[in-house]
Amino acid sequence: MTATDAVALVEVARLHGPGDVRLSIEPFPVPGPGEALVRITAVGLCGSDLHWYRDGGIGDAVLATPLVLGHEFAGVIVDGPRAGERVVAEPADPCGVCDPCRAGRANICVASRFAGHGTTDGALRSVLAWPEKLLYRFPDGIGDAEAALLEPLGVAIHALDLGGVGPGDRVGVYGCGPLGLLIVALSRLAGASTIVATDRLAHRVAAAEAMGATHAVLAGEGAPRDAVDVAFEVAGDDDALADAIADVRPGGRVVLVGIPDDDRTTIPAGLARRKELTLQLCRRMLESDLPRAITLVEAGSVDLGVLITHSYPLDEVAMAFATLASRSGLKVVVEPSAEPSGGGRP
């Protein structure tokens, strides 16, 4: 298939306001310099997508014009020398010239654009133009839906690096959505001796135990105080952060991965100060983390498929977001190239 063979129109899902996602037919994308056309096969929906869908924004970014969400995506390159390659995308397109970029920290680029954020359209569409240098080939042994989860796995890898988790460490994970569960799995791989995992939802607690947590409990019933060396807050919730601070040992580290609803986070400052904790914030991933994620999954070290509980074709994207908002499963995947099924496949 080439761009000239393709139909002149593509199906697109745009967010017009909180809870208002609409399908439309739009012109076929024209790739810019250095871009490739990608037929989108799978898009994972995540907590940041839920912020956009529910609130019409995230952090200090608000919906200014109808936006195509979707930054966790895999697909097939349509044309050019790499035509037919199955690829997963790095959704952040950094400037490459600012101080953080030149220091190897493009994840905090001051001028980056990001798929499905601000005014940069994402992948909830049948075809997308994206910088070719940000498209990473993945092997045939990884399915399309699983490949869409390589991006959150890369974020989890970056979070674990920030936490400095190593053999024998005691780890706490507070919030067991898909990203928290991936941190549980990576902590196990890193040789953590204890992995405490908490969530408010029982099915997520059960999933954490299945992913390798040694102590998986409902929120509020966590580890004894001072029981972990490094804690990951992955819920975007002050109660989860308070539990993390209570459970981490004096001199320990707390990594904030979750995104709070109102762009504000509060902490029990007295306790954090008495313990002289290190609070480390996490943003996205480094350039090397997506290839590392591919290697881990190819080797069978991490099973991404177990996280996928619901999948929908693009024409059922409203149902996909409703499922995401209900928090009734784990990972929701939209498959733009799938045929209509008459209902999400749980």
Q: Whole-angstrom Cα distance, residue 151 to residue 130?
A: 15
Determine contact, residues 163/297, Cβ cutoff 8 Å: no
Bridge-based pairing of strands 86-89 and 72-77 is antiparallel
Q: What is the pTM of this model?
A: 0.92
Residue with tokens 């009734």: 328
The rounded mean pLDDT for the chain is 91
Compute CA 332 distance to the chain's CA centroid, rounded to the nearest angstrom.
11
What's residue 5's pLDDT?
44
Q: Look up residue 65 and give its two tokens.
A: 């014009």
Q: How large is the average pLDDT for residues 73-90?
A: 95
Q: Look up residue 13 and give its two tokens.
A: 């899902």
Confidence of residue 48 (pLDDT cuts 50, 70, 90): confident
Determine contact, residues 10/66, Cβ cutoff 8 Å: no
**Model confidence pLDDT, tens digit, residues 303-346:** 999 999 999 999 999 999 999 999 999 999 999 985 433 333 33
What's residue 224's pLDDT?
77
Please tell me the total number of residues recorded for the chain in this structure.
346
Bridge-based pairing of strands 228-233 and 248-256 is parallel
What's residue 61's pLDDT?
82
Cβ-based neighbours of 156, under 8 Å, separated by 6 or more: 179, 182, 183, 185, 186
What's residue 338's pLDDT?
54
Q: Whole-angstrom Cα distance, residue 174 to residue 152?
A: 17
**Model confidence pLDDT, tens digit, residues 208-260:** 999 999 999 999 886 778 789 999 999 999 999 999 999 999 999 999 999 88
Angle in degrees, CA 247, 283, 100, rounded to 5? 130
Percent of the chain residues past pLDDT 70, beyond the cut: 95
In the chain the domains, ranked by start, together with CATH numbers, are 9-149+304-335 (3.90.180.10), 153-281 (3.40.50.720)
Look up residue 105 and give its amino acid.
R
What's residue 249's pLDDT?
95
**Model confidence pLDDT, tens digit, residues 92-146:** 999 999 999 999 999 999 999 999 898 899 999 999 999 999 999 999 999 999 9
